[in-house]
Amino acid sequence: MLLWVGLGNPGPAYAKNRHNVGFLALEAIAARHGFGAWRKTFHGVAAEGSIDQQRIIALKPMTFMNDSGRAVVAASGFYRLEPGSITAFHDELDLAAGKVRVKRDGGNAGHNGLRSMDAHIGPDYWRVRLGIGHPGDKDRVTGHVLGDFAKADAPWLDRMIDAIADSAAMLATGDAQGFMTKVARLAPPPLPEES
């Protein structure tokens, strides 16, 4: 069994924020692969399904980003999952818009959701880093992350989310490199004028 966690903030006011791209990715995976209905549990909402014969619990913490780890530790404790069975889908400032990278372990780069997960389960889990680009000035980071995606972002964002859902079987079977390669082929990052 795997626990896939989308990181974001709950509520309609945050739904289109760049910080919520982890929610978008997980929702697309659950919809594409016919997961069951979302239900309230583990300080969040969860849906269950299978991808390539691998049982997956999809979890969206409803605790706000800086307390995401509370939902993750509740779910992982219930299912007795080790951190290596957990994958977090999250926004990544240090990746160009539309780029997707997967890694296990590592620092949190100031990401409050990852920082909370690290505090609750340690750093030895998988991360699907979803590039949202950097605004270019550190004083604009908070506004960028907590701002909504622009209309101009829709083409590359939709391609990226769709490609992640299409490629999820590779992630479920542990082929992180194959997953990244397929996503990059299906959804190449935008050209500078497109981002």
Q: Is the pLDDT of residue 192 over 70?
A: no
Question: The whole model's pTM is what?
Answer: 0.95
Measure Cα distances from 150 to 90, 104, 145, 188 in Å.
18, 30, 12, 19
Read off the pLDDT of residues 31-76 as tens digits, 9 standing for 90 and up.
999 999 999 999 999 999 999 999 999 999 999 999 999 999 999 9
Does the annotation mark 19 as catalytic? yes
Please tell me which residue in 19, 33, 111, 144 is annotated as part of the active site.
19
Q: Where are the domains of the chain?
A: 2-186
Could you tell me the CATH superfamily of domain 2-186?
Answer: Peptidyl-tRNA hydrolase (3.40.50.1470)
